[in-house]
Amino acid sequence: MTDSLFSSLSLRGTELSNRIMVSPMCQYSSTDGLANDWHLVHLGSRAVGGASIVMTEATAVSPEGRISPNDLGIWSDEHAEALERTTTFVKSMDSVPAIQLAHAGRKGSKSRPWDGSEPVFPDEGGWNPVAPSDVPWPYEGDAPELHELSTEEVGDVVEEFRVAAERALDAGFEIAEVHAAHGYLLHEFLSPVTNHRDDEYGGSFENRTRIVREATEAVRDVWPDDKPVFVRISATDWLDDRESWDLDQSVRLSAALGELGADLIDVSAGGLHPDQQLPNTGPGYQVPYAELIREETGLRVGAVGGIRTARHADEIVRNGRADLAIVGREHLRDPYFALHAAQELDADAEWPPQYRRAVPRR
């Protein structure tokens, strides 16, 4: 049978009731990195809405791994405990709670988007961002001083991913995703635009990809064998006028990650530099990247980018272009996207009993 949006999917010992995942989307609503009622309601409502996987926003593995001082974190036991209410509720809705483990790198220590995304200095509650090389984000004005990581400190970052994964498991998460996309720290190591190192973490493809492989391996080492690990990558920097990270390298990296135990590649793009040249950003504009990685590696992939309708998401799965439809902004507009998609596609989906009186008749 042809897979569809409402086909089940097995990833190790995890059973998904459909192929819809809530994309990780920053909420900038934490204090000191702690989850609160906003996260419970935001993520919980998407579980009520029928998505099979509900993933947190980028969740920092260290305080300086945040994008803004308002980002979610998991660098202490207290942070893990604050997330337990959310994972418990998501699972009670028969959805799978997932966490994106992240480090913002040079893009850290800035204000929330609705406050201007401006640099936040240490005396204002910010910090000195870290990066592979002394190549700061090209702000127009002053910004906190950038710290170039030593070889030993790179190892410390890998360990932070390992410990964060252990805490995420204690908090009740069933899928862990390593964030290596969108110009954040791990992506900064991948791209020669931002990685000018001459140690074992810079130069060749093997060296530039080392930290991503090590972080993935560290997470896989502590994650149970019956639970999946995802990796999100930017398939391209969209910087064709210079030596940069591109789709061919993404295929090579994805294959290597699969050998290390990654179960799905979450394929996005861009975010490394403001000079990026975006393609036509119509519906599904990034799906071809996921499709190629799936074809070339045989790995399961998730597709993102402009997936706005049930029929489009269904076509992506039915045509074998991706195994998951990862839906972001449409889930902000409609927390019940999956339930509404099932109605539109005449598929079976379990509405919560509290809401069944409102289910439209077919």
Tens digits of residue pLDDT in 216-238: 999 999 999 999 999 999 999 99
**What is the rounded CA–CA span in Å between residue 150 and residue 97?**
34
Would you state the pLDDT for residue 279? 87
User: Pick the catalytic residue: 184, 201, 289, 336?
Assistant: 184
Q: SS3 string of 278-305?
A: CCCCCCCCCHHHHHHHHHHHCCEEEECC
With 0-12 / 13-18 / 19 or more C-beta atoms within 10 angstroms meaning exposed / middle / buried, residue 285 is middle
Active site residue 289: no
Those residues of the chain that have pLDDT short of 70 are 1, 362
Quote the tokens at residue 47.
Answer: 């579980």
- The one-character DSSP state at 192 is T
- The one-character DSSP state at 214 is H
Model confidence pTM above 0.85: yes
Specify which residues 99 forms β-bridges with: 176
Would you state the pLDDT for residue 1? 54
Would you state the pLDDT for residue 202? 98
**What is the rounded CA–CA span in Å between residue 93 and residue 83?**
16
**What is the rounded CA–CA span in Å between residue 352 and residue 156?**
44
The DSSP secondary structure of 257-276, one letter per residue, reads HHHTT--EEEEE---S-TT-
Would you state the pLDDT for residue 360? 81
Would you state the pLDDT for residue 241? 77
**What is the rounded CA–CA span in Å between residue 233 and residue 329?**
19
Domains recognised in the chain with CATH numbers: 9-352 (3.20.20.70)
